[in-house]
Amino acid sequence: MLNHRSLVNLLWRSALILTTSGLALVIGNSAFAQIQSDNTLGTENSIVNDIDALNKRIDGGVKLDANLFHSFQEFNVSEGGSVYFANPQGITDIFSRVTGNNPSNIFGKLGVLGDANLFLINPNGIVFGENASLDVGGSFVASTANGIEFGEQGVFSTSNPEIPRLLNVSASALFFSQVAAQPGNIVNRGNLAVGKNFTVVADNLDLQGQLLAGGDLKLQATDTVKVRDSIKNPFVAAAKGQFLLQGNQNVDIFALSHPDSGLFSGADMVLRSANQVGGDAKYWSGGNFQIEQLDGSLGNLFSPYDPVIKSLGAALSTRTKELYSLLGAIYSLCAIRKPII
């Protein structure tokens, strides 16, 4: 039988556990569900409208010709929820930036209520969770860039809140700071599909899950692109158009654990890096298959576990002759290819 002191201690421990659990729950929900405008756009701030407890619509923003600009302190999508950007008439490109200090956690559905292209830039990083998905009929760009350049007209920057009123032309380039405090990484564990072109650019890419593009697919890192699958979950990257995978310093691909894993393109496929490409996977190219260095010259493919490369065009690297004899299988000008998307 508990004495008074034991009973008090038991109740105290129980209360502490409940309080700590509740605090963790609150912190977790706020960290993964919060979308907060940063109030840098004055009277044209981004407006977050709650459809219900889990689903939100983004309105407002700065309209400049066919471009719409949004700015956020925090941008996350909770698991089981959705966030859709409104697509006003005449808008073809929606640009969204995160000016706060936290990465964006996309654990639910991110989409556009229309056919506009969507840009999401957060230099702190972006994480697409296992249940993340996209509903973007146009093109989608996810990047840890510090800004988006518009030719000579200015930059839509995450560090300088002012939006030059001349940004009414198409975006021309992504701008990465040379003095970033830490690298911005993009992680994908979800199944992401885009209607047109799909571009993912960061300091480092950690890619699992699926990445499907109705047009071209570009996966680019200023440092390393890492690709992995598992026995339970395949890695699939597929483009109906051209496919570029580039890690300026390293490309590290191992995706032979699941029978459905592979990299597919309807047109040319290029793996590019300053160093030799680690490429243990299955490749199906509707055009040429090429290993390149950063200057466009032929590069090296390192693959100790015998990948399969099927190409309707040429299969090119500095070791093309050796590739035919050493790799598991290369089918150049192959008449049979695996369906894409």
Please determine, for residue 317, whether its predicted confidence score (pLDDT) is greater than 90.
Answer: no
In this prediction, residue 132 has a pLDDT band, given cuts at 50, 70 and 90, of very high
Distance spanning both ends of the chain, measured CA to CA:
67
Task: Return the pLDDT at 340.
Answer: 42
Q: Across the beta sheet with 155-157, what order do the strands follow?
A: 155-157, 147-149, 173-175
* 327 against 250, higher pLDDT: 250
The residue from 197, 230, 253 where one domain ends is 197
Q: What average pLDDT does this structure show over 318-330?
A: 46
pLDDT more than 70, % of the chain: 78
Confidence of residue 67 (pLDDT cuts 50, 70, 90): very high
pLDDT tens digits for range 219-263:
999 999 999 999 999 999 999 999 999 999 999 999 999 999 999
Output the pLDDT for position 335.
33
**Judgement on whether residues 5 and 138 belong to the same structural domain of the protein:** no
Instruction: Give CA–CA dist 82/111, Å, rounded.
Output: 8
334 pLDDT exceeds 90? no
15 & 41 share domain: no
155 shares its domain with 213: no
In a shared domain, residues 23 and 108: no
Q: Residue 169's pLDDT is what?
A: 52
Residues 145, 286, single domain; the answer is no
Task: Examine the domain organization and report whether 110 and 163 are in the same domain.
Answer: yes
pTM, two decimal places: 0.84
As given in the structure block, the two tokens for residue 331 are 């089918």
Examine the pLDDT at 179 and tell me if it is beyond 60.
no
Nearest-angstrom CA–CA distance, 251 and 269: 14
Contacts of 304 (CB under 8 A, 6+ apart): 280
Domain boundary among 197, 223, 244: 197
- The pLDDT, as a whole number, for residue 313 is 87
Task: Say how many domains are in the chain.
Answer: 3
Residue 175: the pLDDT is 57
- Residue 173 CB partners (closer than 8 Å, separation 6+): 148, 149
**Which domain CATH number covers 171?**
2.160.20.10
User: Cβ neighbours of residue 317 under 8 Å, at least 6 residues apart?
Assistant: 290, 291, 298, 299, 300, 301, 323
pLDDT grade for 177, boundaries at 50, 70 and 90: low
- The pLDDT of residue 59 is 98
Q: Which domain holds residue 22?
A: 1-33
Listed in sequence order, the residues at least 6 apart from 288 whose beta carbon sits closer than 8 Å to its beta carbon are 268, 269, 311, 313, 314, 315, 316
- What is the Cα–Cα distance from 289 to 244, expressed in whole angstroms? 10
> Measured between alpha carbons, how far is 267 from 136 in angstroms, rounded to an integer?
22
pLDDT digits over 136-164, tens only? 999 999 999 988 888 777 788 888 877 76
Higher pLDDT among residues 257 and 315, named by residue: 257
- Predicted confidence at residue 162, as pLDDT, reads 76
Q: What whole-number percentage of the chain has pLDDT above 90? A: 66
pLDDT at residue 30 tops 50: no
* Average pLDDT over all residues of the chain: 83
**Residue finishing a domain among 170, 197, 224:** 197
| Same-domain pairing of 155 and 227 | no
Please indicate, yes or no, whether residues 267 and 328 belong to a single structural domain of this protein.
Answer: yes
328 part of a folded domain:
yes
187 in the same domain as 46:
yes
Under a CB-based contact definition with an 8 Å cutoff, are residues 99 and 73 in contact?
A: yes
Is residue 309 located within the same domain as residue 232?
Answer: yes
Burial of residue 10, with CB atoms counted within 10 A of its CB: 0-12 exposed, 13-18 middle, 19 or more buried: exposed
Distances (CA, A) of 168 to 22, 77, 136, 173, 223: 47, 28, 22, 15, 32
Residues 56 and 181 in one domain: yes
Residue 326 lies in a domain: yes
- pLDDT category at 57 given cuts 50, 70, 90 is very high
Residue 203 lies in a domain: no
